[in-house]
Structure 1
């Protein structure tokens, strides 16, 4: 006769290795575990589900600054102690603040994953905001802001989003904040935001590797303890588009003509697109980006670089976001061709949404997206990152859904996107770098 324990085992669903197992811990922490018995390493990704897009303009840059300060030690540890501990474990914690979340990620040998989780909990939950550390780190952040302005793509996207979103829309604030605000931050300011944001109910933890889910759950429950709470659900802000222009010019975000700053000119065109959770749109936009500019083999690369010779490089990129993503096309050319870049790009986009894509182009785009997903997911750190990002975008299961949607992407859907969401009149434009002088009529 079967015992009650035998029946319980029989009724328990079998979880295949490699399947994401999701739990919500008593503290509200979202936990994702992928058991990969064959792996030699463990990838860990911890997301604090708040980013620059959740900040009011008057506090812009606070979350990015906290990301820096947590590495300066806790009340029981001096600056650099956690970094040293992680290095001794054979890993390094990488951190990044985006619009929807702040990420802390590392990869270590399989025997060290518990120690890594302990270090991450100490790092994020119990930082010491020492005045001396704050003042020293302000110089580091100021230098990082200056370095950001040297990159024409990042500068162009920052200028475009500042125009693309309505006044007061948080997505329009700079990722690193604004220096006049950051320069005045105090320990009290940082502690108040940390208490509100850096708590388990606002976190997602993903562990991938030769681990046992039940053991990870037990350790995470102890390390990320707190009052019993449901995970924080953020209201979905409605990202509204500025009404489209009818003159074909789009919205002009920035135009920089200082020849001393750059040796090339970069045209950056940005569109607002549906949120990441809209799986059908996200998969189609990902395929469209690869089909348009997959190195020199993409449609725009072939037309603008190889045939017309007006550009040196073309890139297209989808940035998934929780409340509406960004689709960016950047064209880099020589200063003498600066005035031709935008017209050449628009002309080619019009040809594409009139003529469509060939079956070969479409399949190449699908294959490129599928290859990127497979490549990233093959490593423990790559899969941990992808799963955590999707959860932070309130799109859990997006990994599996993309696999289903990719074969369904058709050329007609890509043309429809170019006629509607990516219509030329809806673009926001930034032109960065030297441009040829325009001599007035009658001038010498």
Structure 2
């Protein structure tokens, strides 16, 4: 992306959380121009009196639009009795409203060639669609109908219960899912909100009632807890009008906004990350293992240095782990590092899939690399490659309206700010070798977590 000038208003990095306002407020957050002075992108934000936030990015030359409805509720907002409710509810909102049946909802977007889906995470749920520009009002109306007017009928709850049980079984057959769930349970505890699987368990889904799900919907699906992000061929003023109309059903937009308290404050104290090892035996051909550590929280200023470190360690074919584990020693086909960050906790780790008789050697090599990078950091060449990969990957990933919609919605909902692309690039480029070394020494100097999933008796030695 070539940008000669980026004009950003003072409201770009806004700390204001949803609160009661007497009228809608609108800001221009970012205007990007190309080398010839032509405006290529404009980001605007409107907050309605109800607390609903609407973020748009007008992309020059786009002929499609992507929309996401982001609700600040996920699996970590559930109690033991409602474990799986966020994901269950995601399914049920597609099952029909007083205006549309489930088939009507599907037909509405299929008939115009639109793409339509949803996903649930630990801290949010997102319903999203991509359509031609002329069909954006239709997508807004369908999503508004689903969010505000879903019936959540008893027969739909019972039917979808079986679908979700099948989905849980599917994840249980995927070694990557099993080992990541095992790591979360090991890190935070199997009975804690962060440690539990997002979809729930067989027992929790079978016990879930319609009344519980409806109460969960009424409590969390409120305007002050919702962000609507749209990118592509979009007119901000027209979108705001369409959203007001579509989401005013059932008086959903009425009433004052209730401030949304950051999760870390709402939960009182930061969840502790444990240490140790855990194994699950499954009839898989490979052993899948994750070596983890406590990571950074989502808003930690060191996250850019950690991002560069993650790329250098295991983020591509030139990374240390790929070269040492796969290219030099031929121990595994897949090896990579990752960082998962939440409002008040996080984990970093390395994931590997290998043949059972190579488990000990893989563990030894990975631990050796983690110790080395914790002691010495990375080289200047690795720093340059890490920055280049992060910047290039980010820009290439924002070539379509869907990716830009995701960036806007997630950042507004979970960070409470929209950081411009040029500013993100500046922060990445500003990372120093010393900053990477310091964060490497910190996170990889913490107690180890080891999750192992594979056939029979694992060769991994338990951590005492």
Kept in 2: contact 1:28–1:228 (CA 8 A)? no
**Which residue number in structure 1 is paired with residue 242 of structure 2?**
219
Is 2:250 aligned against 1:251? Answer: no
Is 2:143 aligned against 1:116? Answer: no
**Which residue number in structure 2 is paired with residue 241 of structure 1?**
272
Question: What is the number of residues matched between the two proteins?
Answer: 416
Is 2:291 aligned against 1:264? Answer: no
Q: Which runs of 5+ in 2 are unaligned?
A: 1-26, 32-38, 460-464
What is the correspondence of 1:132-281 to structure 2 with a 5 Å cutoff?
132-165=155-188, 169-225=192-248, 226-230=253-257, 232-237=259-264, 238-242=269-273, 250-252=275-277, 254-258=278-282, 261-278=283-300, 280-281=301-302
Kept in 1: contact 2:61–2:233 (CA 8 A)? yes
**Which residue number in structure 1 is paired with residue 329 of structure 2?**
308
Q: Which runs of 5+ in 1 are unaligned?
A: 1-11, 244-249, 439-444
Is 2:73 aligned against 1:50? Answer: yes
Secondary structure at the aligned position of 1:171 is classed as coil
Kept in 2: contact 1:149–1:155 (CA 8 A)? yes
Secondary structure at the aligned position of 2:245 is classed as helix
C-alpha separation in 2, matches of 1:13 and 1:134: 42
Secondary structure at the aligned position of 2:81 is classed as helix
Secondary structure at the aligned position of 1:170 is classed as coil
Higher strand share: 2
Query: Normalising by structure 1, what TM-score?
Result: 0.88
In the TM superposition, what is the alpha-carbon distance from 1:390 to its structure 2 partner?
A: 1.5
What is the correspondence of 1:388-407 to structure 2 with a 5 Å cutoff?
388-400=409-421, 401-407=423-429
Higher helix share: 1
**Which residue number in structure 2 is paired with residue 368 of structure 1?**
389
C-alpha offsets along residues 95-115 of structure 1, whole Å, 9 cap, x if unaligned? 000011000111100101011
In the TM superposition, what is the alpha-carbon distance from 1:234 to its structure 2 partner?
A: 2.7
Is 2:325 aligned against 1:298? Answer: no
In the TM superposition, what is the alpha-carbon distance from 1:396 to its structure 2 partner?
A: 1.8
C-alpha separation in 2, matches of 1:385 and 1:413: 29
Of 288, 309, 318, which residue of structure 2 is paired with 1:288?
309
**Which residue number in structure 1 is paired with residue 343 of structure 2?**
322
In the TM superposition, what is the alpha-carbon distance from 1:231 to its structure 2 partner?
A: 5.7
Kept in 2: contact 1:29–1:224 (CA 8 A)? no
Kept in 1: contact 2:273–2:294 (CA 8 A)? no
Kept in 2: contact 1:291–1:298 (CA 8 A)? yes
Greater Cα shift, 60-69 or 219-228? 219-228
Q: CA RMSD in A?
A: 2.2
Greater Cα shift, 428-437 or 285-294? 428-437
Query: Normalising by structure 2, what TM-score?
Result: 0.84
C-alpha offsets along residues 131-164 of structure 1, whole Å, 9 cap, x if unaligned? 2211111111011111112222221221121121
C-alpha separation in 1, matches of 2:28 and 2:314: 44
**Which residue number in structure 2 is paired with residue 8 of structure 1?**
none
